[in-house]
Chain A
Amino acid sequence: MAKYQNLIEELAPRKFSRLGVVWTIALIVITMIGAAAYIDQVIKGQVVTNMRDYVLWGVYISNFVFFVAISFVGSLTAAVLRLTNSSWRTPLVRIAEIIAFAAITMAGITIILDMGRPDRLYNLFIHARLQSPITWDVIIITTYLVISALILYIPLLPDLALLKKHYQDKPKLSRIYAWFAINWNGSPAQKALQSKSIQMVAILIIPVALILQTVDAWLFSTTYRIGWDSTNFGPYFIAGAFVVGIGGLIAVTYVLRKVYSLENFITDMHFDRLGKILVFACLIYLYFNINEYLLPAFTAPKAEQAHLEEMFTGHYAPLFWFVTIGGLIVPIIVLLFKKGRKPVPMFIIAVLVVVTSWWKRYIIVVPALLHPFLPIQGVPESWHSYFPSLHEWAIVSGTLAMALLIITILVRYVPIIPIQRTMEEQGLTEANENDKKS
């Protein structure tokens, strides 16, 4: 019984440490600053941003694409690992599901931030045209958000019931867990229903996640524009999302392992395997990058050449080479070696991958808009280039902080590592423990 209780103690959500409190307050403050900047943007209009006639999709949309991308592999990895019944998945899937849920929630909110008149959101629904990729996007994000919530919630039921019992000395908290546990008692009928539901949602989320990334890519590639008009864009986005998703998962896993001392559950083996998946994802993404940039370099008309020159040697070259080398080449080289797949180097590489992935979305969105087919003429000089304004930075920082805040709050109240499943894997059930005792 002691082992059983110890495991629950170890894996049950814990109060924030002092550092955790500071972290949470910092996130709330950044979110509030972002909210204040957004209110000012709504009052004054999008003139407070640096988006103008040409760059009309600025940092908000690149941030949106980043959120959509990072939400992808969280769920997909979890689903694939569940369906392939990989035994080492247990401590990772919930973290992946939490990241996915937070990211897709923020993706939906970011789209609204980009709208000049958010009060007209309903027009997206009442005037929806099924021919428009924007409509597909609205539908698929809503769908993916619901599925992400389900794939997080359904496997959580046994743990919620355990926590209800565990926090009996805290009636208020226990009641909340009881409400979410919906009478879970672990009966064979409930287990059969839960198992069937997990199987269903794990299968469902794979095509939906692929559709989500593809629709996101089609938002760009269905426009006849230099840099976006590519048949490669769907798989290119999926591969990129795979990279950033795994990167995000590694980074968050490392931090949680450190903060909650979960070294016994999340071992070096987990990082080693995640490292192998990341290097595989990076190699695939590198392949698509070569397709995306090398072929146009050979066949491109003048406008495309100008776009590529700006990326390879021009204004955006430092950023382009930073995201290519930092986000792909370095991770591939480091992670190919076993020593590179240890937790600390993996964490550094993962953070590098996530940061470069954010900037990668920026250089997908912005430079293409600065190369329209008709030359930019008769507009103020400042419209010839784009860099986000303070309002934009504040709002984007607010969304990133809010995503981390959602993860932080979920981690505070939801077991990071599935307790019930870990117990089953270790042969520790309440009944077994009672039997041993008798």
Chain B
Amino acid sequence: MKANLKARFAALILFGFCSLIFIPQVNAQDEKAKPRLSVEYHKTTGEPASIFVKGKFKGEDGYEPTVNLDVNIYKVITEDSLAFLGTVTTNAKGEANYTLPEEQNDTALEHYYVVKVEDNDKFKDADSDLMFMDASLTAEIIEEDSIKYVVAQLLDADGNPIEGQSLKVKVRRLFAPLTIGESSYDTDEDGSIMVEIEDPIPSKSGVLTFEVVLESDDYGIVKAVFDAPIGVVIADLDTFDKRTMWSPPGKTPLFLFVFANIIILGIWIVIVLLIRNIIKIKKS
């Protein structure tokens, strides 16, 4: 009976010990968050194309960015054959950009990529795929009858015009691009759009940066960015180095500096003379 009790007690101790050792690990496994990945194809004319990855997970305060998350990029060769391209790590916003190697940026009709989170300590495994067709976008400024236009053309990988795609025309400003004309324009049978620049646009140097953007499920985000010296140069109104009423002490307006000091000196010279007279009275 006594031995039986001892055995039960030992079993209880063993169970408690095991609980302490293993339960936290089981919990740690359960605490792994499931990331949600979104993937986009970005291409800007004249620059290497890239794959943009953004990750988030459901945290205590709602959706939070997956910070410092390693994401593997694979190119799908066939349905069950993946070629590993590289790994990117997300930043504080949960974003990462993978620049596609030139050899991957080929002229195949369709491109197929998979991004994966694998064997991560904090996050569960997850993946997302990306399929797109290659397209190229060119844009420039032309002038007809003294009116300036943004002209853009969208071509596929074989150089054929792509009709019926919506292009946005914007000019870059200090904080965010400003849309020109309507919110978007559809390409015609030549894959082209022509948008009038109605108002003169002010610019510090006179050079404006335009961008024509295609945001498409089939082609990804394709941009044509170019500079054009058609801005109206604005006068420099910065008064930082000037003498103004709101400048620091060293930049007092000269008229104020001169007249105020003349008044102050004029009064204080008389005061000094008066004190001198008092001293003279004392000595006389």
Contact = CB atoms under 8 A, between A and B. Distances in A.
A208 B249 CA distance: 24
Interface of B: 244-249, 252-253, 256-257, 260-261, 263-264, 267-268, 270-271, 273-275, 277-278, 280-284
Nearest to A201: B274
Q: Which 7 pairs, one residue from A and one from B, show the smallest C-beta to C-beta distance?
A: A182-B282, A197-B277, A130-B252, A131-B245, A129-B249, A189-B284, A204-B270
Interface stretch (A75-83, A143-151, A407-415, A417-425): A143-151
6 contacts: A130-B260, A131-B253, A154-B274, A157-B281, A197-B278, A204-B274
Contacts of A182: 278, 281-282
Contacts of A139: 264
Contacts of B274: 150, 154, 197, 200-201, 204
A197 B284 CA distance: 15
A131 B256 contact: yes
B247 A131 contact: yes
A212 to B, nearest CB: 11
B281 A150 contact: no
A189 B253 CA distance: 46
A208 B268 CA distance: 11
Nearest to A184: B281
A193 B270 contact: no
A127 interface: yes
A198 B246 CA distance: 40
Given A184-B281, A193-B277, A130 B257 contact: yes
A204 B282 contact: no
A194 interface: yes
A299 interface: no
Interface residues of A, number: 30
A208 B281 contact: no
A267 interface: no
Interface of A: 127-131, 136, 139, 143, 146-147, 150, 153-154, 157, 182-184, 187, 189-190, 193-194, 196-197, 200-201, 204, 207-208, 211
A55 B13 CA distance: 71
B259 to A, nearest CB: 10
Given A129-B249, A131-B247, A131-B253, A204 B277 contact: no
Interface residue SS majority, chain A: helix
Contacts of B257: 130
Given A129-B252, A131-B252, A193-B277, A204 B284 contact: no
A146 B256 contact: no
A131 B284 contact: no
Contacts of B267: 143, 147, 204, 207-208
Contacts of B253: 131
A129 B282 CA distance: 38
A147 B271 contact: yes
Given A130-B256, A139-B264, A190-B284, A154 B278 contact: yes
Nearest to A139: B264
A432 B246 CA distance: 65
Nearest to A189: B284
A154 to B, nearest CB: 7
Contact of A193 (B249, B264, B275, B281): B281
Given A154-B278, A200-B274, A143 B268 contact: yes
Contacts of A200: 270, 273-274, 277
A204 B267 CA distance: 7
B204 to A, nearest CB: 28
Contacts of B246: 131
Contacts of B247: 129, 131
B276 to A, nearest CB: 9
A280 to B, nearest CB: 28
B281 A143 contact: no
Nearest to A211: B263
A321 to B, nearest CB: 38
B278 A130 contact: no
Contacts of A184: 281
Contacts of B283: 183
A153 B281 CA distance: 13
B249 A143 contact: no
Nearest to A182: B282
Contacts of A128: 249
Contacts of B249: 127-130
A130 B264 CA distance: 11
B33 to A, nearest CB: 38
A54 to B, nearest CB: 23
A187 B280 CA distance: 12
Nearest to B247: A131
A196 B273 CA distance: 11
A183 B281 contact: yes
Nearest to A204: B270
Given A146-B271, A183-B281, 6 more contacts: A128-B249, A131-B247, A150-B274, A157-B281, A182-B282, A200-B277
Contacts of B284: 183, 187, 189-190, 193
Contacts of B277: 154, 193-194, 196-197, 200
Contacts of A201: 270, 274
A200 B276 CA distance: 13
A184 B281 CA distance: 7
Contacts of B275: 150
